[in-house]
Chains A and B, each alone.
Chain A
């Protein structure tokens, strides 16, 4: 018995230093937040995203090993606005980590940093589908909001790790400059797209449309979170034809069948939007947005 106890203690002694080593550990809910946290944190942080860029951020399984990642985290960065409501609270509680609970300095809800759109001004209920009662959470497709998020992350990192404050500030500045420059380029390339009428699958696209001045005339989903039915798809095809829609914006984590059908029937082009940068493939936030913009440039560009 006592021998087993000694083995257990030895195992734990080996395992503990792993958790404690060096850099600040950041966990983000989505890969776009992770990409930005990496830019801002640089060499002084270690970043993990709970959801893959191919996953619908509304419906992530609260797998226990994700709680393990949170148990070691110094900072949890979330989108907020109830996007992660169905899974993040379970993981936060399960992590037993007081540092990253709501209200603690190690929890950053990025929706407090951005300009929130679609905040309901009257009573909403779920007859409208999966509405987000505090506003639309899909702001990371707007580079202006992403810039605000990067500044907010730098501020929070400074608070948690004052020793590296200079580096965080410089990194954020460099990122914002780079993003600002890229944004100018994207806007110039898509100047002609302003006012263009598009169809989107889900309300994910609202900030993106707001940024580029696109007009979303219809959604493939009859209501947010409600899968399309043939009747509605027919309606969308009619709308697309009558309003001269040239682009169907589709998030890759939604089934593509109906969007493809609409594109085919109307001659519009399907624009595929990933849920964020492919972190494993080493992609950055700017590259991620660039890939989306390039698809639109093919349609609306000079």
Chain B
């Protein structure tokens, strides 16, 4: 990332934050006339033409009881009058809102980690995984969101890391296409599988499953392109997604063009991703998400060589909606099967993970994950040398356990331990203690 970009992004960031502070945006607004606490909610004098309640700015102190006590009759009578008078005006807004702001919503998410590896040659594959013994900045994510106009919304995630800044995602989403269609364009994480389109903030572990890093790269599969999705008009939730993106990117499409940008000469030089997502509301408290995905594109090992990745994902969630239980239980599994044409051969391998997470108290959660990845096989069934990971010549397993403490919804601490076995070397132990803080107008979560 060139230095100038880094600088200008930093300026943008500070300007954005400064303006956010100067014109208190969605967060703090000044309200109408100067606050004149408590007494400011007197009854409007009864006039022939009933008036709405005046804006009643109220201090956050205990309720202004004296003034409010006389209100009810008035409210009901006034509303009745409005409804029975044929040309009464439509409901007015009693609460005048303060100055609105057109600034986009900004949120910052900072992830830090203290890490220890039993071997410096660890095999973490995630771009934002803790990567050295000692302290790590996993990333500072600046999340910018806004509606553009009645037709589009805008989302951007800029990630500031120790190496510099990257535009992780920046895209526009349509809001009003006909026939339940939706399009996205820009740079975005493709919707292959479940975890690929999510951000570390939404993960149950401090690192990314190695399957994702192995197949797509440290950042997961994303790229510049377009996506079209369709919500089927069926009684249950069925969504079909298709996208076409650039097939290059060392950290985003390593099984495809990877770090060699070969350009697009034909449509099939793009990376195509298709996904079918289904959701089942099994019971009030139980839900199930099931997905099938495929990523098809060219690879860099030779002319007309192709790679295909097929994936399936399952997400089962239990969260009681009655009885104020803080309990949440989830089970999430993904399997990725990859086939690549390389010089004179077709290689295939399978990797995946399965994890359970339990929020057993309002502030505490625990999670366990098992991951496995086969070596690359030739079609005949013999282990073959993988051109991307030459040392990965055995089955690799990793077992991980994590305990998370949430002081609030906006901060968390996580202690995680893992043992990585097989694959490309001796077993490795790793321990992480991570901290995350979120500030600003944090956006809504997906399911």
Interface residues of A (CB under 8 A from B): 11-12, 15-16, 18-19, 52, 54-56, 61-65, 67-68, 71, 82, 85-90, 93-98, 101-104, 111-124, 126, 129-130, 133-135, 143-144, 147-148, 150-152, 154-155, 159, 169, 172-173, 176-177, 179-180, 183-184, 187, 194-195, 206, 209-211, 213-216, 225-227, 252-256
Contacts and interface: CB of A to CB of B under 8 A. Distances in A.
B93 A213 contact: no
B419 interface: no
Contact of A121 (B35, B235, B408): B35
Contacts of B427: none
B266 interface: no
A61 B447 contact: yes
Interface in B414-447: 439, 442-447
A226 B362 CA distance: 10
Given A62-B445, A64-B237, A151-B91, A253 B324 contact: yes
B42 to A, nearest CB: 13
Interface in B26-83: 26-31, 35, 37, 41, 53, 56-60, 62-65, 68-69, 71-73, 75-77, 79-80, 82-83
Contacts of A65: 236-237, 279, 281, 287
Given A86-B442, A93-B153, A126-B410, 17 more contacts: A64-B237, A64-B447, A90-B444, A98-B150, A98-B151, A115-B95, A119-B95, A121-B31, A121-B59, A122-B28, A123-B24, A180-B72, A180-B80, A210-B68, A213-B69, A215-B62, A255-B325
Contacts of A114: 94-95
B443 A124 contact: no
Given A52-B321, A104-B150, A113-B91, A173 B80 contact: yes
Among B153, B233, B235, B239, max chain A CB count under 10 A is at B233
B64 A210 contact: yes
Contacts of A133: 26-29
A102 B57 CA distance: 25
B102 interface: no
Interface in B296-346: 317, 319, 321-326
9 interchain residue pairs of minimum CB distance: A98-B176, A180-B76, A210-B63, A64-B279, A121-B35, A90-B444, A213-B65, A144-B75, A54-B322
Interface stretch (B128-136, B177-185, B380-388): B177-185
A124 B90 CA distance: 33
B54 to A, nearest CB: 9
B58 A15 contact: no
A96 B97 contact: no
Contact of B444 (A85, A115, A116, A179): A85
B175 interface: yes
A160 to B, nearest CB: 13
Interface residues of B, number: 85
B444 A88 contact: yes
A216 B83 contact: no
B72 to A, nearest CB: 5
A133 B71 CA distance: 25
Contacts of A179: 76
Contact of B72 (A144, A173, A255): A144
Contacts of B445: 62, 86-87, 90
B363 interface: yes
B287 A63 contact: yes
B409 interface: yes
B318 to A, nearest CB: 11
Nearest to B89: A155
A94 B29 CA distance: 29
Given A133-B26, A147-B75, A211-B68, A16 B233 contact: yes
A177 B80 contact: yes
A115 B28 CA distance: 18
| Residue of B53, B84, B287, B408 ringed by the most chain A CB atoms within 10 A | B408
B59 A103 contact: no
A101 B175 CA distance: 8
B286 to A, nearest CB: 11
Contact of B93 (A15, A101, A113): A113
Nearest to A256: B324
B408 A18 contact: no
Contact of B235 (A15, A122, A148): A15
B379 interface: no
Contacts of A11: 234
B150 A101 contact: yes
B409 A225 contact: yes
B7 interface: no
15 contacts: A15-B233, A15-B235, A54-B321, A54-B322, A85-B444, A93-B153, A95-B231, A101-B175, A113-B93, A113-B94, A114-B94, A123-B24, A134-B29, A187-B72, A213-B65
B147 interface: yes
A120 to B, nearest CB: 6
A137 to B, nearest CB: 12
Contacts of B224: none
A124 to B, nearest CB: 6
B173 interface: yes
Contacts of A118: 58, 60
Contact of B58 (A56, A97, A103, A117): A117
B356 interface: no
A134 to B, nearest CB: 6
Interface string B224-243: 00000001111111010000
Contacts of B173: 93
Interface string B155-195: 00000000000000000011111001110000000000000
A72 B169 CA distance: 30
Given A63-B281, A112-B95, A134-B97, A151 B79 contact: yes
Contact of A12 (B232, B237, B281, B323): B232
Contacts of B76: 144, 147, 176-177, 179-180, 183
B378 interface: no
Given A12-B232, A154-B83, A215-B62, A124 B27 contact: yes
A89 B444 contact: yes
B147 A102 contact: yes
Contacts of B234: 11, 15
B289 interface: yes
A120 B28 contact: yes
Given A101-B175, A227-B362, A67 B237 contact: yes
A298 B50 CA distance: 37
A48 to B, nearest CB: 13
Nearest to B325: A255
Contacts of B60: 118, 120-121
